[in-house]
Structure 1
Amino acid sequence: MTGIDYEVEYNNRARVPENPALMAGWARDAAAYREKRTPRRVSYGPGSRHLIDVFAGDGQDLGQAPLVVFIHGGYWQALDGSSFSHMARGLNAHGVAVAVPTYDLCPQVSVAEIIEEMRQATRELAKLSERLVISGHSAGGHLAACMLATDWKAYAPSLPADLVSAAYAISGLFDLEPLVPTSVNKALGLTPAAARAASPLFWSPPAHGSLDAVVGEAESAEYHRQSRAVVEVWGKAGLATRFGAVPAANHFTAIAPLADPASPMTLRLKELAGR
């Protein structure tokens, strides 16, 4: 990987100058969706950000399977779930409930602590469904992969080993070491050792389920490498994996299909959820 300018590869805001308007659009569309469909608020911890918004699917009472989780991005240091409520729209139209958790941010906590928070959130969501599909964008894609690779029986013996039946990572990060020399790491404070320890690419591959790793067609070569690498490594270990690209999408528009009930992304998640 010598000679790669990691700052250029991973600085998505610099790569997509229109990102402020795109993120403002997320917040606007999310607020409009919450006006239409009030979520159930679930707490998974003592902190003010330890919250999950759960949007019931059309014609569905919460507590009925299936349940898809969407974990937001922001390089573990920005945003919260309230900007992504509308990501539930596509699946809700098919009768699939969607849970959108929020977590604490770096530098107040470490990436390792955020992984643990999402495990706590997943354990709480197991009360609603014992078969979860976990999706996520960017840092959320990393966290989705971490949840799939977690040994749930070891984490909490009362949980089923196959609690997370599938992960669907959009523009995910699975090898954090290239971030260490970049401006992204100012808030993260990762050492090379900590970055590797938090990289699911180097964990024992999941023993159950499947992984979809999807990236925007217009994203950097490193984002494409990250997704292809985890698909290859976990696939060779025997996990069902699949790589995909969202046509013409950049890092910020790659998640737009989630709001469309007819998009291939929504339909794939519906399939993974067993509907």
Structure 2
Amino acid sequence: MLYHVTDWDDAYANTVHIPQGEGFFARWQDASARFRDAYPPKALGRGHLFRPDGPARGLMVFVHGGYWMETTPDLWSHLAEGALARGWAAALPGYALAPQARIAQMVHQVAAAIAEAAGRIGGPIVLTGHSAGGHLAARMICDDATLPDSVAARVTGCVPISPISDLRPLLRTAMNDRLRLDPAQAASESPALLTPRPGIPVTTWVGANERPEFLRQARLLADIWAGLGAATDCVVEPGRHHFDVIEGLERPDSPLMERVLG
């Protein structure tokens, strides 16, 4: 069957294609507020750093999504729960949003937050993120010195969840009025068009019930980076859509958390 996109705005729309999609944001807000009450975070620039009881086994970084235009780490605090339960610290970087910032600026802000967290937490570092945050997580391990070498040397895995790995299709969407991408910037900030650092395993993770573009984008990154020598996998989780595919991060024994920390 031919795959042909004729409505690029709809291709990247999620809420309208998920039953009761609008309700997820209120639930996340409540869950995150309760989690911060139980586990008060330390400040990390625009974001948060959660520490486990006792010495941390390592540092998990979760980069939030929102199409680089919406949300803050406050909406996603509860996703640190699985890591903390396993004795890991969890960093949730914040970054300036479009249109006030361009994606290249966000990349550098996230990298700076990770470097700051790495200076406060020892051990291995694993990177994950969702949607636009999946893009930013993957962007961290490109070989253009986005992360300082000393920090990148500690990264033992990267799991972009439902990532947008090639930004060029967004040039055809209305959201680009705020993102302000041009063809050169879309290419220079697309992980799928860049080379990964060697030695870091990469798993893209996506829900089987997601929009076809997110399935394509997840497979694209895994396939292209495998061709560049990276150890890659693409996991399509049955029954999951774009909003509930991240829920495994709340459970220390979920398949997603096993892959992130494994």
* TM superposition score category, shorter chain reference: over 0.9
Match of 1:53 among 45, 48, 56: 48
User: How many Å separate the matches in 2 of 1:135 and 1:155?
Assistant: 15
- Unaligned 5+ segments in structure 1 are 44-50
How is 1:142-181 mapped onto 2 (pairs within 5 angstroms)?
142-152=135-145, 156=148, 159-181=150-172
Matched, 1:202 2:196: no
Structure 2 Cα separation of the partners of residues 71 and 186 of structure 1 = 23
User: What's the CA shift for 1:5?
Assistant: 2.9
CA RMSD of aligned residues (A): 1.8
Whether the 8 Å contact between 2:93 and 2:114 is mirrored in structure 1 is: no
Q: Following the alignment from structure 2 to structure 1, what is the Cα–Cα distance between the partners of residues 212 and 125?
A: 31
1:62-211 equivalences under 5 Å are 64-127=56-119, 128-129=121-122, 131-152=124-145, 156=148, 159-211=150-202
Structure 1 residues 129, 52: CA separation in 2 closer, same or farther (over 3 Å shift)?
Answer: farther
- Pairwise CA distance, 1:15: 2.1
> Residues 125 and 4 from structure 1, CA distance in 2 versus in 1: closer, same or farther, beyond 3 angstroms?
same
Alignment: residue pair count: 259
Provide structure 2 residue ranges, at least 5 long, that are not aligned to the other structure: none
Q: CA deviation at 1:249?
A: 1.3
Pick which of 90-99 and 3-12 moved more: 3-12
In percent, how many aligned pairs have the same letter? 33
Query: Which residue is equivalent to 2:250?
Result: 259
Which residue number in structure 1 is paired with residue 42 of structure 2? 40
Structure 1 moving runs of 4+ over 3 Å: 1-4, 154-157
Question: TM-score, structure 2 length as denominator?
Answer: 0.92
Please, what TM-score do these two structures have when normalized by structure 1?
0.88
CA offset at residue 247 of structure 1? 1.9
Distance 2:156 2:42 in 1: 23
Aligned position for 2:228: 237
